[in-house]
C-alpha cells in the first residue's frame, strides 16, 4: 500500500475497525473512505455495489460483522448467519468486480471445532463439529474464508483472511447484557469499587453513559442496586435506602461496605486475550508485507517435489516460481486453510483474569465463582506460529493491556 492509497475500512467504528484505522493513521496513511451503517447497509447488495463502483477503493479491510456474546449467538441464530453471510458476500464480490488490489477478511477463532487440538493450528479447521452455541456465526466466517480462497484461486485476486483470538481494548463493548468476559469483568469491578466506596456520583455517571436494561444514573438507589444485583454485583446495602441525598453520596473511606462480584463457572477455563491495537498492527503488517501467493507458496514448499505435476508442460518449459499464478498452484496441490491466526499463544484462567482485573481496578471486594453456571470450553488457545514465521509478534501483555483499557474506560 502507498501512503495515499484509497483504503476502505468496513466497520471502522467497532473494536476491530477503529483500531485498524488508528494504526493506519499513525503509519501515515491519509486516504480513507468510511461509511457508518446508517449511510451504507452492507447487507444490501445493490447499495454495496453502487458504493464500490462510485468510490473504487484500492484496499479493503472487512471488519464489519454482526457480533455478540454466547446468549446473543444462541438466541439470534438466523440473524447471525444471514447478516454475516450477506455482509461478506456483498463486500468480497464487489471488491472483485471493481478490481480491488487487496482485501483482508477478519473472522474469529470460533471457526475451530469444539474439540480442536490445543493450541489450535489453522489446519484444524473443519476437522470435527463446531461449538453449538455459536455455530451459525462460525459457519458464516468459514464461508468468508472459503469465498476469499476460491476467488483467489479462480480469479487471481489477492484476498487474505485472518482469525484474531479474543480481543479487548479501546471502543470495546461494556454492555453487561451483551459484552464478552473481559470488558464485562472490568466494568463489574469498576461498579463494585464505586459501591464499596459509596461513590455514587461516578456510579451514576457510568450508568448515564451506558445504561443497564434501561436503568441510568437518574434511577433511584434501590432500582440501581436491584439491577446491578441481577448481574452479580452485590452490596450489603442492597435493598437498604440511603438517608443521604445524592449530593452527599461522595467517595469516603467511612462509606466502605462489603461488595462481591459473581462470576459464572469455576474460574478454571483458560482463555487467550489479545490487545486490539496489537491485532490492528498485525493486520496492517500483513497487508503491507504478505501476499496470498506467499501463503500458498509456503504451503506448496511442504509438499514433496515428487507430488508436484509439471503443470502440463515439459521440464524445459516449466514455469518458474515467479511465474506461477494461483490457478497453477491450485492444480499442483490442494490449497486449504490459507487463513492466518492472530494471537499471543498465551493463556490465563478466568480466575487469574478476574484477580488481575480486581488488582488493576482497585476493587477490594470478593470474587464469587458460581459453579452452578457452565464453564464452557476449558481451553481455546490459538497457534500463532504461521504469523510468527511471517515476521510479526504481539507487544502488549495482558497485565499492561488491562491497565491501559481501564484508563481508557475512565476516559
Using CA atoms in the order 111, 117, 123, 127, what is the torsion angle rounded to 10 degrees?
-70
Residues 6+ apart with CB under 8 A from 375: 264, 265, 266, 268, 269
Angle at 244 between CA 203 and CA 227, to 5 degrees: 40
Catalytic residue among 137, 151, 159, 168: 137
3-class secondary structure, 12:
coil
Active site residue 137: yes
Q: How many whole angstroms separate alpha carbon 184 and alpha carbon 169?
A: 12
Residues 6+ apart with CB under 8 A from 16: 63, 106, 164, 167, 276, 279, 280
Pairing of β 233-235 and β 259-264: antiparallel
Residue of 337, 345, 331, 344 whose CA lies nearest to 298: 337
Q: Is the peptide bond before 119 cis (omega within 30 degrees of 0)?
A: yes
Task: Tell the residue number behind the cell numbers 459464572, with chain if given.
Answer: 264
Per-residue DSSP letter, 380 = E
Q: How many whole angstroms separate alpha carbon 312 and alpha carbon 310?
A: 5
Three-state SS letters, 260-305: EEEEECCCCCEECEEEHHHHHHHHHHHHHHCCHHHHHHHHHCCCCH
Backbone angles phi, psi at 275, to 5 degrees: -60, 130
Q: State the helix-helix crossing angle for 77-97 and 45-55, rounded to 10 degrees.
A: 30
Quote the strand ranges of 16-153, DSSP E.
32-33, 59-62, 102-106
Residues 144 and 92 sit within 8 Å (Cβ to Cβ): yes
Catalytic residues: 137
Amino acid at each position: 500500500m502507498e501512503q495515499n492509497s484509497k483504503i476502505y475500512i468496513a466497520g471502522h467504528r467497532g473494536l476491530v475497525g477503529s483500531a485498524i484505522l488508528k494504526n493506519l493513521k499513525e503509519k501515515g496513511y491519509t486516504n480513507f473512505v468510511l461509511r457508518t451503517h446508517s449511510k451504507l447497509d452492507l447487507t444490501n447488495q445493490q447499495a454495496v455495489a453502487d458504493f464500490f463502483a462510485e468510490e473504487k477503493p484500492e484496499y479493503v479491510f472487512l471488519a464489519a460483522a454482526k457480533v455478540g456474546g454466547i446468549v446473543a449467538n444462541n438466541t439470534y441464530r438466523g440473524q447471525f448467519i444471514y447478516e454475516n453471510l450477506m455482509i461478506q458476500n456483498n463486500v468480497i464480490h464487489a471488491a472483485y468486480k471493481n478490481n480491488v488490489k487487496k482485501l483482508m477478511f477478519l473472522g474469529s477463532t470460533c471457526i475451530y471445532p469444539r474439540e480442536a487440538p490445543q493450541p489450535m493450528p489453522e489446519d484444524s479447521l473443519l476437522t470435527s463439529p463446531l461449538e453449538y452455541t455459536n455455530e451459525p456465526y462460525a459457519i458464516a466466517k468459514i464461508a468468508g474464508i472459503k469465498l476469499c480462497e476460491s476467488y483467489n484461486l479462480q480469479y487471481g485476486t489477492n484476498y487474505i483472511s485472518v482469525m484474531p483470538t479474543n480481543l479487548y481494548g479501546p471502543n470495546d463493548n461494556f454492555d453487561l447484557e451483551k459484552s464478552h468476559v473481559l470488558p464485562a469483568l472490568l466494568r463489574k469491578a469498576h461498579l463494585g469499587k464505586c459501591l464499596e466506596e459509596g461513590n455514587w456520583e461516578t456510579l451514576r455517571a457510568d450508568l448515564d453513559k451506558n445504561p443497564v436494561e434501561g436503568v441510568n444514573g437518574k434511577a433511584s438507589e434501590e432500582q440501581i442496586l436491584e439491577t446491578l444485583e441481577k448481574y452479580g454485583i452485590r452490596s450489603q446495602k442492597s435493598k437498604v435506602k440511603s438517608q443521604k441525598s445524592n449530593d452527599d453520596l461522595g467517595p469516603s473511606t467511612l462509606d466502605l461496605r462489603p461488595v462481591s462480584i459473581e462470576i459464572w463457572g469455576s474460574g478454571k477455563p483458560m482463555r487467550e486475550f489479545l490487545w486490539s491495537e496489537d491485532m490492528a498492527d498485525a493486520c496492517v503488517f500483513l497487508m503491507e508485507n504478505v501476499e496470498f501467493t506467499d501463503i500458498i507458496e509456503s504451503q506448496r514448499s511442504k509438499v514433496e517435489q515428487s507430488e508436484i505435476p509439471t503443470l502440463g508442460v515439459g521440464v524445459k518449459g516449466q514455469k518458474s516460481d515467479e511465474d506461477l499464478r494461483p490457478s497453477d498452484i491450485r492444480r499442483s496441490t490442494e490449497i486449504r486453510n490459507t487463513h492466518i491466526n492472530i494471537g499471543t499463544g498465551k493463556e490465563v484462567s478466568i480466575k487469574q483474569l478476574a484477580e488481575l482485573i480486581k488488582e488493576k481496578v482497585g476493587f477490594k471486594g470478593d470474587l464469587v465463582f458460581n459453579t452452578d453456571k457452565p464453564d464452557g470450553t476449558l481451553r481455546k488457545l490459538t497457534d500463532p506460529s504461521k504469523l510468527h514465521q511471517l515476521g510479526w509478534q504481539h507487544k502488549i501483555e495482558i497485565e499492561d493491556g488491562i491497565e491501559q483499557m481501564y484508563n481508557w474506560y475512565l476516559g
